[in-house]
């Protein structure tokens, strides 16, 4: 199996360019440990989930650390660093007191790491974000394609538009359905269509990760909120409605959604506006980084043929693909949606410097929305369907 990832070259070349700590952030199970162990095979490896290791690193004492880190060590991987009480302080001590040591750390909770390390590691770290597989990585790891590409982003941004009748060497409809239903976490390469894995994974995100890290106080509220959000993929978030339905303070609802976002479970897309009277200017939309996780949360893996939400699933898939590819290419694009109070809508607005591209994501092709071009005549408009996205 070919396990190449988009981030591979950047990670492998990090210490050729930087002396700073290499930090890989991402959800659990996206392949962070697999990648760093493969790229740094001679590194000493410390797993913070190992209690003796955690106790030593939580001492914040360099002499104690030297019991764990050999003087001959040249590369050091600290895995699951987010489990430390103050990960930034621990890494700062090692970085400052052991000059020349190449330090690689991984973490599953951006929220915990950034809140504890922002000041301690200022100027001492370079962050890389890792996501569930892109569609290209999925095809490559399945042995269907021989190399990686950024087809969707190039299609939309660089006008390398694919015809709707493009022929593929593989069953595109079947593979796309599989991705929309079961998602693109790497474990599913060897566990195809495994609903039990996804349901256990969904449970562990709340009941293990977030609870263990003391990020949430009320696991029932967190679970119910995440499920409600999963039902609302692609919809505007109404915080007051969520507050009423869950009988919870609106500030707690917002804080929990912040935690879900910082933990790489979901993300919000905000409206593009130039403050015209008829435009939506505040409410974000909700999307998940992985559709399989989303389906596990609502307990629905039924076939696309019978689903009323297949359009939402495809929209979520396309937007998350664009975000992943933008991140891996360091393209610097900004993503929004656009909507008027009268209901005219563009699924994704991509801002590339001064250039605007409106993207409509449709299950099947039909006429594009002209209202956006009436508001922004300098913009381009693209229609992405299941037939031309790749």
Pairwise CA distance, residues 116 & 124, whole Å? 14
Does the domain at residues 8-130 carry the CATH identifier 3.40.720.10?
Answer: no
Q: What is the pLDDT of residue 111?
A: 58
pLDDT value at 113 more than 90: no
Instruction: Name which of 310, 296, 292, 299 is nearest 234 in CA terms.
Output: 310
pLDDT value at 73 more than 60: yes
**How much is the average pLDDT of 140-157?**
90
DSSP 44: E
* Alpha-carbon distance values, 62 to 74, 89, 257 (Å): 17, 11, 37
Pairwise CA distance, residues 33 & 38, whole Å? 8
Per residue in 305-328, pLDDT tens?
A: 999 999 999 999 999 999 999 999
- What residues does each domain of the chain span? 8-130, 138-385
In this structure, of 26-35, 172-181, 208-217, 231-240, the range with the lowest mean pLDDT score is 208-217
Confidence bin at 116 (pLDDT 50/70/90): low
Pairwise CA distance, residues 78 & 59, whole Å? 15
Confidence bin at 369 (pLDDT 50/70/90): confident
């Amino acid at each position: 199996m070919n396990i190449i990832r988009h981030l591979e070259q950047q990670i492998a070349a990090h210490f050729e360019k930087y002396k700073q700590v290499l930090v890989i952030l991402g959800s659990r199970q996206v392949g962070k440990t697999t990648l760093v162990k493969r790229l740094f095979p001679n590194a000493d490896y410390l797993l913070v989930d190992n209690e003796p290791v955690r106790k030593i690193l939580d001492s914040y004492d360099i002499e104690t650390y030297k019991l764990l880190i050999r003087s001959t060590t040249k590369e050091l991987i600290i895995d699951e660093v987010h489990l430390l009480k103050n990960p930034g302080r621990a890494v700062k001590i090692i970085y400052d007191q052991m000059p020349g040591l190449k330090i690689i750390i991984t973490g599953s909770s951006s929220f915990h790491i950034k809140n504890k390390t922002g000041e301690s590691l200022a100027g001492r770290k370079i962050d890389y974000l890792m996501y569930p597989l892109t569609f290209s990585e999925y095809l490559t790891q399945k042995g269907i394609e021989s190399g990686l590409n950024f087809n969707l982003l190039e299609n939309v941004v660089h006008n390398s538009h694919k015809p709707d009748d493009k022929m593929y060497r593989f069953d595109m409809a079947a593979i796309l359905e599989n991705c929309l239903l079961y998602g693109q976490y790497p474990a599913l390469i060897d566990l195809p269509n495994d609903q039990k894995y996804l349901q256990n994974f969904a449970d562990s995100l709340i009941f293990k990760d977030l609870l263990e890290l003391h990020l949430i106080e009320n696991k029932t509220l967190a679970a119910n909120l995440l499920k409600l959000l999963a039902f609302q993929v692609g919809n505007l978030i109404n915080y007051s409605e969520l507050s009423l339905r869950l009988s919870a303070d609106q500030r707690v609802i917002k804080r929990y959604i912040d935690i879900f976002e910082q933990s790489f479970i979901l993300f919000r897309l905000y409206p593009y506006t130039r403050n015209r009277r008829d435009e939506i200017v505040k409410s974000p939309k909700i999307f998940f980084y992985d559709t399989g996780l989303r389906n596990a949360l609502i307990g629905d893996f039924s076939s696309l043929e019978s689903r009323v939400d297949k359009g939402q699933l495809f929209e979520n898939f396309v937007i998350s693909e664009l975000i992943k590819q933008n991140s891996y290419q360091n393209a610097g694009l900004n993503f929004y949606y656009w909507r008027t109070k009268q209901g005219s809508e563009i699924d994704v607005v991509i801002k590339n410097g001064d250039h605007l591209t409106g993207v409509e994501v449709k299950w099947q092709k039909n006429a594009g929305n002209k209202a956006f071009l009436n508001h922004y005549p300098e913009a381009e408009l693209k229609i992405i369907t299941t037939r031309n996205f790749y």
